[in-house]
Every structure is written in C-alpha cells, then in structure tokens.
A and B are shown apart, each in its own frame.
Chain A
Amino acid sequence: MLSRIFIFAGIALGVVIALQASWAIARMCIHAVLGNQCARWLEPLADALRREQPADLALLGARASVRWPYSWRLQRCVRRLNGAQPEALVPALLACRLLPASCADIARAAAAQGPTCLARLFAGIAERERQRPQSLRSALAPYAGTVITLLILATFIGVAIIPKFLMILKDLGMPDRYHISLLGHSPSAWSGILLAASPIGLGIAALFGSVLVRFIWRLRRRRLLADAVLGGLREEWPDQRLAELIGQARPRVAAAAASCGAHGDFKGLCRLAGWRATDPAHLARRISHYDARQARIRSILHASVRVVMPILIGIPVGIFVYMLHGTLINMLLAIAKDIE
C-alpha cells in the first residue's frame, strides 16, 4: 500500500510536469504576444531608448529570462536590426511578433514622435503588465490541473473498479440500474480516449488563448493611446503634434484629427482618441475612472470564474459519484437482504 502511495505521488508530480510541458507546447502555437512575457523585453528596451543606447543589446539581454519561443523571436529581431539592410525598431518588433499587431499603429505613431514617446509607450505596457496580479494561465491552471487529475482518477476507476462492480452485479443477478457500464472500458480504450483528448485539448487551449490574448490587446489600444496623449500633454506638446499622434495611431480619423489640431479643438482630439474630455485634467480624471472600472470588472470576472468553474467541474464529478455510490448502495442492500 505504501508503495502505491509513492506511485500516486509520482503520478501527481507527472501531472504537474505534463501540464508545464503542454503549456510550453501550447504557448508556441499561440500566435499573439503574451503580455507577461512582453514586459520582459519592453522594459529594458524602454530603458535603452531613454538612455539612447542600442536596442539590440537590450533585446539580447532579455533572451535568457523569457520563455520559448520568445527567445528565438528576440534573436530573429536582433538579426533584422543588424542585418545588411537594417530595419527600424518597431517594424522589426512587429515582424518578429514581439509587439501585438493590434498595437502596430500606436507603436508606429509613438516612434514617429521620437524615442522618448516610444520609450514611454513601452514602459507603460511593461508597467501595466507588472501590476497585473495574475496572468490568464495562472488563473486557469488550477482548473486544468483539477480536470487532468480527475481524468486520471476516472481512468483508474474505469479500468480497475467498474469491471469488478459489473462482475458483482452479474453474480448478484442485479441490473445495471445506474449505467456504470458506460464508464467501464478496457485500459487500451481509456488510453486511446486520453491520447485523442490530449492534442484536441491542447489545440483548443491554444486557439482559445490566441483569441483571448488578441481580444485583450485590442481592448488595451484605447488606453495605450490615452497614455501617449497624456505623456504628450505632460511635455506640453502643441495641439498639432497631438493631432499628428492621434492621426497616425488611428489612420481612419487622421483628417479629422488634423482639422481639430489646426483649430485647437482639444475636446475633438480627445473624442477622436476615444475619450470624452474637455481639458487635460478632465482627461486624466476620466482615465483614472476608466482604470478603476477595469479593475472592478476584472475582479468581478475573477470572482465569477472562481464560482462557475468549480460548478462546471463538479457537475460531471457529481454524476460520476452518484452512479458509483448508487450502485454500491444497491449492492450492499442486496447483500443485506441475502444475509437476512
């Protein structure tokens, strides 16, 4: 029995290792840039831009502290920066998927306004990521761990316990009232099910992750532009320069932004950037309200996931336990009746 416990502990460790390895594979399939990783190179990059140091050294230095496949992407980006026809920083970052595509316009706009503006944008993204209490992976990991452990348990029960239950039922001449035969399969069938389920699960995780990460980056665009505008206001940029920034970041409204800039219409510029504000102080207030609301929504989402996920996992587990215990109790009652 003790040896079985050691084996069980080994299986549990194996589950954690398998999860980490699966995540490493799924991460490579996620096309979008993960925020928590992106902070690792954007922060030194912002620092290098501020100090007017070469960007490639900052990118090379970040390789050892990021996960795969970002280290390879960083390497590729450095090659692009130092190639025979050196590329500019932002296009190289975008081409190597080190900056999310949804931030392309705003990054180009910030780069056009000079390295200080670009450094501010990168530092802003990195800072926000650092302040994020928990990543998506970390939030979902407990549920993934629980589901995998439960699957392994269900496999064990399906292979080792259910066939014995079915034999007892046959011996006692009882019908399979709770349909536990549905759960009992041969070891090869169970391993086949698990083998088929793993790549499907991994694929769904990668797809879901990609879509979600892209969606999150799209939501952040408006906030990033607000940061850039606020930074410009702090440096006392004229309205024309703000209009230029907004126009480059949102090419569809470039003409309207230029017109607002020419007329000194700050309210119009804010509206084109996606905010309703009458003056810089008002804009700052709106942004801080927005941040507070986002934090509230995030905490509500986290709380909802914490409530909903255990229920979603609990329903099949409950049905499973009901079938198993129902059969066991029926068997005990039949045995008791026989003894009487």
Chain B
Amino acid sequence: MIPAMFVARAEILSLVALAAAERQSIPELLNQAAVTLGPLARRSARRLAHRLESGMPIGQALWRQGYISPFEARRVDGGVDARRRLQRLAEDAARADTGLLLVRWFPVWVMVALLVPGWILFNLIEWLSDRAIYETYKVLGIAANSLLDTALAAWWLQVLTLGGCIAAVALGMVILREIAVIRHLTHLWCPEVHRAYFALRLIRALGPGEDQSYELPWYRAALAALFIGIHRPQKPRWAADWAAWFFLTRFRLPAGEQRMLGPLHSLSLRLSAMGLLGSERNAPLMAEEQARERLSFAIREARPLLIAVLAVLSLISLTMTAASTLVHVTSHIVGGF
C-alpha cells in the first residue's frame, strides 16, 4: 500500500490552492478533476473531497491525507491568509527540491555511496561467475575479512548489514541533532544551507501563539533533565532553531548587538532586529518568500560539490570491490605482503 503522501501530492495541493484562490468549492473541483488523475491519485482526491464534504477543515483534511504537517495544518486552519499559504504549499510541492534532503542527511548518503555500488557490483560478479570469488577463497583457503564474509553470506544478512550501517549513521545524526553544542557538528559540511534553512524555519514559526512554551516529548524532556538537550521546558518551540541559526550567524554581528537580542522574548521582535522581517503588513509572507529563495540558492550552490564527492565515493567503492579481492588473492599467493 503506497502512502497517500507520495501520490500526486503536488497535483492535489495545486487543485486545492486553485479552488481556494478562485473561491470555488474545493470538494467539487477535486471530484471534477479526479477523472483526469491516475487511479491512486483519483482515489486520494476523492477521499480528500469526502473528508471536506463531511465538514473537516481543509488543513486538517490535508494533514489526515499526509500531504502537510500538523504544524502547517494548524496554520492553514487558523491563519488569516489561508489562501496564500495553500498557494505556497502547492508551489513547494511542485518544486519537490530534494537538495535539502541531500544536504541535511549527507553523511547517510556518504555511507550509501560507499556501500551500495560496491555491494551491487560484488553480487553481480558472484552471480555472473557462479560464485567464483567464494570458490576461489574456499580453494585457496583464504580467511575472508568481516565485510567479505558478509558479502558472501545470505542475501538477507547482506541487506541487514548494509541497512544496519546506513541506519546507524542516520540514528547517530538524529541523536547528535538533539544534543546541545555537539549538534553544530552536523551543520559543518554546508553551513550556508543550514543557515538559510534555520532562517526559513524561524520565519515559518511566526504566527499566533508563537512565543508560548510547549510540552516536550519524553525523550526531549529526558535530555533537558540531563542539561544536554537542545529543547528546554518553558521555552517556545522556535528556541532550538534560533540557537542553531544564531550560532551559524556568529562573527557577523558585533558582540553588543548579540547581547542586546538576549532579553527580547518575542520571535518577531528578534527577527525584526536581525533584519529578517520588515515592517509591512504582509512582512512574514514576503520574508518567507525571500528566505525560501535564499535556501534554494544555497542548495543550488552546495549541490555540485556534494554530488561530486558522492560520485567519487561510489567510484572508490566500485574500484575497491574489484581491486580488494584481486589484491587479497595475489597477496595470499605471494605469501602475504
């Protein structure tokens, strides 16, 4: 079963935004347009229309379908500029920029690039040569190292090992990101992108009740009790993002100004003081658009280097797979280097 969030998200969000902008009935437009969509998307559009017809608010219905986050849903349902927000959500979905995923989880991609191409090549050689490497090792009586042992093992053990390694890196990153000070290590490979990302998150956090504290989930409360968590009780939700963004803007502001921002408890005041938020009526939306543009520019700038590194690592993975067995066999024949 494919989750609804992966099915025609951009199309359905565009339809909703269009109907909202044209002040048409959203369920009606969804039902009309459903015939032009694919079978899964059609079902998804009809389910959304049904939810709306039963009186569910639009934000909540989109969240239930898995198209937007609960935070966005609250803002769509509670905000005064719901149409503009829906339009922005549709634009974001249509852009489908995967660059942020690449930057934020770069160490995971590094592991994938190092392990997966070599693993595929190794299995391909084994399959095409009828397990020639395994047989050579057996005939020569070579003790394989741990990774080779895994590569020669059953497929499920191979997948488990590979998946385990990649998941370990991802888990490590999740844990690191929750720990104060150390979390900044996870921004080092692309500080520019992270700065733009946290600025965008801060601007998106603007809204009614933005400065209220919230109840921490158990793991964050536990980390906070140990004084190592990035989230603290009695602090607003944006405080952690502010800390990350402020760290990434270090050495850009004089010390006096940095100290001056401390006593300001309102996010909008802080953002205005930092020059991210103007004084116009629609300042948050304009600031959000600018921040989004800055983020996509930063991602565009960072992507070539990251892709090149991943490509080099994939090549190294392929070469090492082919060469390591050859060197291993040669060194065994010669009697060990």
Chain A positions near chain B (C-beta within 8 angstroms): 1-2, 5-6, 8-9, 12-13, 15-17, 19-20, 36, 57, 60-68, 71-72, 75, 130, 133-135, 137-139, 141-146, 149-150, 153, 164, 167-168, 171, 328, 331-332, 335
CA distance A17 to B188 in the complex (A): 6
A67 touching B337 in the complex, CB below 8 Å, given contacts A8-B114, A149-B312: no
**How many A-B contacts are there with CB distance less than 8 Å?**
126
Q: In the assembled complex, how far is the CB of residue A67 from the closest CB belonging to chain B, in whole angstroms?
A: 7
Interface residues on B, range: 35 or more
Which residue on B lies nearest to A59, using beta carbons?
B275
- A141-B146 in contact (CB<8A): no
The CA of A335 and the CA of B306, in the complex, are separated in Å by: 42
What separation, in Å, do the CA atoms of A75 and B258 have in the docked complex?
14
B197 within 8 A of A: no
Known: A5-B114, A5-B147, A138-B303. 19 other contacts (CB 8 A): A2-B146, A9-B107, A9-B114, A13-B106, A16-B106, A16-B305, A20-B188, A36-B301, A63-B253, A67-B192, A71-B252, A72-B252, A130-B293, A138-B301, A138-B302, A138-B305, A142-B305, A142-B307, A335-B330
Cβ-defined contact, A1 with B309, below 8 A: no
The 10 closest A-B CB pairs, nearest first, are A61-B275, A142-B308, A1-B147, A71-B252, A141-B305, A164-B337, A138-B301, A145-B308, A16-B189, A149-B312
Report which B residues bind A (CB closer than 8 A). Answer: 106-107, 110-111, 114-115, 145-148, 161, 165, 169, 188-192, 195-196, 199, 249, 251-254, 274-276, 293-294, 297, 300-309, 312-313, 316, 326, 330, 333-334, 337
Main SS at interface, chain A: helix
| CB neighbours of B191 from chain A (8 A) | 20
Which residues of chain B come closer than 8 Å to A1, judged between CB atoms? 145-148
**B165 and A135 contacting across the interface, CB-CB below 8 Å:** no
A–B Cβ pairs within 8 angstroms, 27 of them: A1-B147, A2-B161, A6-B165, A8-B316, A9-B107, A9-B111, A13-B107, A13-B189, A16-B305, A17-B189, A36-B297, A60-B275, A62-B275, A63-B275, A64-B252, A64-B275, A64-B276, A66-B252, A134-B304, A135-B301, A138-B304, A141-B304, A145-B312, A149-B313, A164-B337, A335-B330, A335-B334
Find out whether the CB atom of B107 lies under 8 angstroms from the CB atom of A149.
no
